[in-house]
Amino acid sequence: MNIELDIHTHTTASGHAYSTLNEMALAASEKGLKILATTDHAPAMPGGAHIYHFHNLRVIPKIIHDVRILRGVEANIINFQGELDIPHEILSEMELVIASFHSPCIEPSNIVKTTDALLNLMENRYVSVIGHPEDRRYAFDIENVVIAAKESKTLLEINNSSLLPTTFRENSREGLIKILEVCGNYNLPVIMGSDAHHTSSVGRFDMAISLIQEIGFPINLVLNRHADDFLDYISWKRR
Ligand SMILES: [Zn+2]
Ligand SMILES: [Zn+2]
């Protein structure tokens, strides 16, 4: 599979990641990626970056080591109204916003509340991607969320790290298979993210790709294949 971008990566600014942005960009360049989104953890995550970190991302060059750097954030969903720990004006400055459930930031609840949180969240025009949606602790009504994702032009992530044996997320493989099945039925594009916390994982999609191939998910729905297609897709929601 031709891969041009990684949309989910962390640097030392996340508090529990171990490479600098320059190192991550070099790794992306060596992997032949055109785009690397830098999406550090937002303030509600223990050790996460301060709000000033995101506001000041403007000082970063657009291109480092021949790789286009997308200035982004992995924001935390902090309640079941689907609110995030980053104010709107900062979200508007980001080129890519991933929104995720993380257990230190929100206690898991039931499927109805989790679904509501995601439906509300997807109305936020700056949220382009729901990060690692397959974690069973935050299970939701897949059909309703996929329909809303399609209407709002929000993408669901296939998180490669969730599929590794080292993951702490629960039942990721089974969850992802169900989500991908419904995405396929509704012709909803998806995006793979490495969720790299070190250079060694930048552009790593081995587990995601083998799952996609195993279940016969349509390759044409995977937006990592062409950087321009991805940028086009996420620009619709922000218009
Ligand atoms: Zn995450
Ligand atoms: Zn992450």
> pLDDT tens digit string along 18-35?
999 999 999 999 999 999
- Ligand 2 centre distance from Cα of residue 193 (Å): 9
Q: Which ligand is nearest to the CA of 193?
A: 2
Ligand 2 centre and the CA of 162: distance in Å? 10
**Residue the block writes with tokens 């552009």:** 203
- Based on the structure, what is the number of domains in the chain? 1
CATH at 60: 3.20.20.140
pLDDT digit string, tens, across residues 96-136: 999 999 999 999 999 999 999 999 999 999 999 999 999 99
Token readout for 181 is 């099945």
Query: Ligand 2 center to residue 22 CA distance, Å?
Result: 18
pTM greater than the 0.95 cutoff = yes
pLDDT in tens, 169-185: 767 899 999 999 999 99
Task: Tell me the residues surrounding ligand 1 (ion) with CB < 5 Å.
Answer: 100, 131
102 Cα–ligand 2 center, Å: 9
Q: Which ligand is nearest to the CA of 131?
A: 1
Which residue range is the domain that position 145 belongs to?
5-238
CA atoms within 13 A on the CB side of 15: 11
Question: In this predicted structure, what is the pLDDT of residue 141?
Answer: 98
Mean of all residue pLDDT scores within the chain: 96
Give the pLDDT of residue 205.
Answer: 98
Query: Each residue of 39-64: pLDDT tens digit?
Result: 999 999 999 999 999 999 999 999 99
Q: What is the pLDDT of residue 167?
A: 74
User: Cα dihedral angle (175, 179, 181, 183), rounded to 10 degrees?
Assistant: -170
What's residue 166's pLDDT?
Answer: 80
